[in-house]
Copies of this chain bind each other. A is one copy, B any other.
Amino acid sequence: MRLAELGERSGVPIATIKYYLREGLLAPGERIGPRTSEYGEEHLRRLRLVRALIHVGGLPVAKVREVLGFVDDESLGRTIRLGAALWALPQEPHPDGASEGDASQDAEADDAHEAALGEVDRLTASLGWEAVRQLAPISPSHASLVAAMAALRRIGYPWRSELLAPHAELMHQVAVLEFDFMETFDSATEQVEAAVAAALLFEPMLRALHRLAQEEESVRRYGMS
């Protein structure tokens, strides 16, 4: 298809598409004349992903380029390719209960961090998440979980890992659903694209579903008033 059709089918203004082309977020079309190029379905798909990363994920252009670099790198193994793309997405801001500043705060913060690290270690061991345990030193998600548990501990909620195990099992079931869905796509590149889109776009839906499920369960247990 020509540029005009790409604009029409994607709903993205031509000027925006040209900007993405200049910034290298979209591969150039196939040149078929001095001033015309031909674009394919993969351009349409990529345009959709770029819009998701920018408009839903709120990623700056440089970050989008980084994520897409991993998505497109066919020399990487699947897990690395996927993991690198996902790890380049914005991470959970670290909740921080240690900002009230008194003298003993630093030592306390370290204690909370150490304790949280131990809890997460026990949790992943009890779950048999061997890959997670191996990736722990470099995984930003692992760091997020430790930070969240440390923040809880610091403000006086010392959650124990056993309490999280059933939640972790349920989130694993969610991940299995996601990978099953991902594998309905044909090529490895499409699958990695779908995984990035899902990571970005499914999370807000999961959170909304979680809160709706709380509403439902509350009414089932305590009635409507």
- Cα A199 to Cα B218 in complex, Å, equals 13
User: Smallest CB-CB separation from A57: which chain B residue?
Assistant: B95
In the complex, which residues of chain B have a beta carbon less than 8 angstroms from the beta carbon of A167?
Answer: 174, 177, 202, 205-206, 209
Tell me, rounded to whole Å, the shortest Cβ–Cβ distance linking A101 to chain B: 8
Does residue A43 face the partner (Cβ distance < 8 Å to B)? no
User: Are B205 and A157 closer than 8 Å at their CB atoms?
Assistant: no
Question: Given contacts A156-B11, A205-B145, is CB(A86)–CB(B214) below 8 Å?
Answer: yes
Tell me, rounded to whole Å, the shortest Cβ–Cβ distance linking A215 to chain B: 6
Does residue A5 face the partner (Cβ distance < 8 Å to B)? no
User: Are A211 and B48 closer than 8 Å at their CB atoms?
Assistant: no
- Cα A8 to Cα B202 in complex, Å, equals 43
In the complex, which residues of chain B have a beta carbon less than 8 angstroms from the beta carbon of A224?
Answer: 77, 79, 131, 134
Stretch at the interface among A22-30, A34-42, A61-69, A136-144: A136-144
Tell me, rounded to whole Å, the shortest Cβ–Cβ distance linking A181 to chain B: 7
Tell me, rounded to whole Å, the shortest Cβ–Cβ distance linking A70 to chain B: 13
Q: Per a CB cutoff under 8 Å, which of B80, B96, B206 touches A55?
A: B96
User: Are B77 and A223 closer than 8 Å at their CB atoms?
Assistant: yes
User: Are A141 and B211 closer than 8 Å at their CB atoms?
Assistant: yes
In the complex, which residues of chain B have a beta carbon less than 8 angstroms from the beta carbon of A173?
Answer: 170
Q: Mark A196-225, 1 if CB is under 8 A from B, else 0.
A: 010101111111111111111111111111
Given contact pairs A11-B108, A11-B154, a sample of 15 additional A-B residue pairs in the complex whose CB atoms are under 8 Å apart: A52-B155, A55-B96, A78-B222, A80-B225, A82-B222, A129-B216, A131-B216, A135-B215, A141-B212, A144-B207, A167-B174, A167-B177, A179-B218, A199-B211, A203-B210
> Can you list 5 residue pairs at the A/B interface with Cβ under 8 Å?
A129-B213, A141-B215, A145-B205, A170-B170, A176-B217
